Structure 1
């Protein structure tokens, strides 16, 4: 009995937060240098898709994932206001109970039309879309083969589903095939890839990878969160651009990037896909999105179907910024522009934070990405371009980077 009490007392005094001590120390050490907290920025007012008031000054936004600049589109805003009047502020229920309103069906039809696919399922976030779809279709006894640089939501979906997880080296086709070759004959297999990888902004060789996956009888899921709306002739993503979209079993995406609101989705042509609405726990047991949100998403998606000029302008912005930063002497995550994401590699976290703050003083906001979220423990300043950035703003940005880099001794 005494031993039991002693054990209980020990358990009561265990600090469940102790596992976070290294991260707490990293943050404390960083802030002790006097740098502004790069993970606590507040936007007091957002003026447009590319400009906000931060710390009392007008700031160019280059870290918002607002790729197509739809957040202030007048038609999108009007649709949200109308839905708010017509349906109220929320559904207070799951999609399988009282949480399906006509705007939810309308946005799913818009997704089917956008991707030219038969089925679409909308989740409350993009994270939930990956969590729900992956954990439901690949369970105990199945195998998931995935790129080691996959997003956290993909890894969490694998963990929740209890499938055997087999990672392979980033964008390595040969390594992926080796993993597939070792999977037992007859086992369920899912290959999970991303069109654009969000840290470095590089794209996957989807056409070759999907061909290998099909050779071994695997189903394929591609997360196009960072390419939907922008890459591909119709904005359907990297799979469309590489001519292999029809070979993809599941496309995952989000409304919080090019669409300009919040939510996640999966589109598919699989004939049994609709059963997912009854068996996918993150869908069944979550309140559905407010009708005003899905109304804005629906309007945005339909406008993105005819956004060729905006896509072309965003590509020009990407090429100009990539060349400008390279010419200035910065080391970038890709040797050429591959997406709307351009990552600038920093020497270490301390100087990365100093550079981030110097840019903020210049009037420019970017994302500071740090280990362990980044590949190879890199510290990155991640730039996310918008179709609404003017050519003049892009030139301003190059100048801001150059001055900040010289001020903190990152440029020679």
Structure 2
């Protein structure tokens, strides 16, 4: 029968205050006492006549709960099965082939892009094709010398946050150079660009009254995290689609603070955004533009400032985020903008205030890398098909096969190109992500293509017919560029 006590209470009240209810009345409840006695002593017990709500009820109407019901009652005092829970989460990843096993790769600083792979317990020479060290600057003699000098002069670490341990001249000098690189008033260093994106978007969205954020659906996880954490109204526009952004901006009053966030070079597809259109439309509706140049800095523009410099759009990019961990060959992230905005983020962003600052070795190495790139940015060309960026995605579309191709290439051919599976990309878009550098010679490229072809067929993958629009051979399915409705389709761009 229904408990005459609990039936008088709302389900929300019971859910919120059940521990207090159990403590106050549990000893007089026949169901609870029966289960408790059975749990502690192995015998059944509990006197239903003690229930204050059934005291006046005729004994014939009182029925003992069924064994099934008693067994289904939560045993008070038990602990959550943490280990089995975590084991089940890992098994889910393994079953859908998205579980990641890190390769043990030790790079050779004197012979980039060579490395030694030790995953199987031996030392196997390999060639790395998937590093984000796009220009091999981490191994440049000038960069290494700057790091050595900073180590001897200042030590290995920064000693804490800049708020507590002090603001070194190295940090200020690097921020000044980064601001100058992007033609901005100021810049701010973070420990990574993930932290820079997350912290900046969160801080600005929370600070601006009634702020709305418009986010490209292809944005990096760091941007999504900052937007999600801010809990402000968000609008997702189709990847690199200015027309869809225009439609969405029309729905919010021009006087409302707005941030439009997007990337210039998409890290997984290599697509380059229509920067001028996105900036113009954003400003037409009174929005700030937050532009991620992570995969473009150091590679594009006369001085390596990215797509913004290449396309003469730096004045229209209100906030630029970049990284020191890719083309500059180091680690760390930053934002560049006008001085007041930078000071606001510096003063309010928890990701900056409470994180140990970058060590002097990193800062010195990054400064040296930027200086070298300014003198002679790119001496060799990049194979960039089928996109106009330096990233070459090879789509496979199956997580198990994607991992298998990667593993076989490494184990039998000595080519390291990492498989990219969910959640880095959507399910069904699994791919190999190739990032050639000027140090990958033509001989290396010819050997890689021949080996990939052999492995590709060995695992059962096939080639499709060439694209009927641009006649370029594809590894995965016929291209529909002639009728493609994806804005700025890389295949269309290359064909034009």
The TM tier, using the shorter chain, reads 0.7 to 0.9
- The equivalent of 2:423 in structure 1 is 372
1:178 aligns with 2:247: yes
**Partner residue of 1:354 out of 404, 407, 411:** 404
- The equivalent of 2:459 in structure 1 is 408
Give the distance between the partners of 2:390 and 2:78, measured in 1 at CA.
Answer: 49
| Equivalent position SS for 1:343 | strand
More displaced, 284-293 or 390-399? 390-399
- The equivalent of 2:144 in structure 1 is 77
Deviation per CA, 1:138-181: give whole Å up to 9, x if none. 12621110111110100111123232221111111111111111
**Partner residue of 1:306 out of 364, 368, 375:** 375
Deviation per CA, 1:259-292: give whole Å up to 9, x if none. 1111000111354432322111111111101111
Deviation per CA, 1:203-223: give whole Å up to 9, x if none. 111111111101100000100
List gaps (5 residues or longer) in structure 2.
1-19, 27-72, 464-496
1:131 aligns with 2:198: yes
Give the distance between the partners of 1:295 and 1:379, measured in 2 at CA.
Answer: 37
- The equivalent of 2:104 in structure 1 is 42
The offset of 1:22, in angstroms, is 5.9
TM-score for the superposition, normalised by structure 1: 0.87
The structure-2 alpha-carbon separation of the partners of 1:106 and 1:205, relative to structure 1 and needing over 3 Å to count, comes to same
- The equivalent of 2:395 in structure 1 is 345
CA RMSD of aligned residues (A): 2.4
Moved over 6 A (4+): 5-8
**Which protein shows a greater Rg?**
2
**1:251–1:268: 8 Å Cα contact kept in structure 2?**
yes
- The equivalent of 1:233 in structure 2 is 302
**2:146–2:368: 8 Å Cα contact kept in structure 1?**
yes
The structure-2 alpha-carbon separation of the partners of 1:210 and 1:17, relative to structure 1 and needing over 3 Å to count, comes to farther
1:317 aligns with 2:382: yes
**2:398–2:428: 8 Å Cα contact kept in structure 1?**
no
Larger RCO, structure (CA 8 Å, separation 6 or more):
1
- The equivalent of 1:275 in structure 2 is 344
The offset of 1:14, in angstroms, is 6.0
How many pairs align? Answer: 388
The structure-2 alpha-carbon separation of the partners of 1:410 and 1:97, relative to structure 1 and needing over 3 Å to count, comes to same
The structure-2 alpha-carbon separation of the partners of 1:9 and 1:344, relative to structure 1 and needing over 3 Å to count, comes to farther
The structure-2 alpha-carbon separation of the partners of 1:90 and 1:368, relative to structure 1 and needing over 3 Å to count, comes to same
The offset of 1:299, in angstroms, is 0.8
Give the distance between the partners of 2:241 and 2:139, measured in 1 at CA.
Answer: 39
Instruction: Within 5 Å, give how 1:15-94 maps onto structure 2.
Output: 15=82, 18=85, 21=88, 24-28=91-95, 30=97, 39-47=101-109, 48-55=111-118, 56-94=123-161
The structure-2 alpha-carbon separation of the partners of 1:221 and 1:45, relative to structure 1 and needing over 3 Å to count, comes to closer
Give the distance between the partners of 1:10 and 1:307, measured in 2 at CA.
Answer: 68
List gaps (5 residues or longer) in structure 1.
32-36, 323-335
Deviation per CA, 1:180-226: give whole Å up to 9, x if none. 11123422100001011111111111111111101100000100000
**2:188–2:342: 8 Å Cα contact kept in structure 1?**
no
Give the distance between the partners of 2:184 and 2:391, measured in 1 at CA.
Answer: 27
The offset of 1:372, in angstroms, is 2.9
The structure-2 alpha-carbon separation of the partners of 1:309 and 1:184, relative to structure 1 and needing over 3 Å to count, comes to closer
Give the distance between the partners of 2:77 and 2:221, measured in 1 at CA.
Answer: 33
The offset of 1:91, in angstroms, is 1.9
**Partner residue of 1:397 out of 437, 448, 451:** 448
1:385 aligns with 2:448: no
**1:103–1:294: 8 Å Cα contact kept in structure 2?**
yes
| Equivalent position SS for 2:336 | strand
**Partner residue of 1:106 out of 162, 170, 173:** 173
**2:216–2:237: 8 Å Cα contact kept in structure 1?**
yes
Give the distance between the partners of 2:76 and 2:301, measured in 1 at CA.
Answer: 60
TM-score for the superposition, normalised by structure 2: 0.73
Deviation per CA, 1:226-250: give whole Å up to 9, x if none. 0110022322112222221210001
**Partner residue of 1:206 out of 263, 275, 300:** 275
| Equivalent position SS for 1:122 | strand
Give the distance between the partners of 1:20 and 1:118, measured in 2 at CA.
Answer: 50
The structure-2 alpha-carbon separation of the partners of 1:215 and 1:30, relative to structure 1 and needing over 3 Å to count, comes to closer
More displaced, 169-178 or 374-383? 374-383
Deviation per CA, 1:13-51: give whole Å up to 9, x if none. 2649848846633325649xxxxx863200145343311
More displaced, 107-116 or 351-360? 107-116
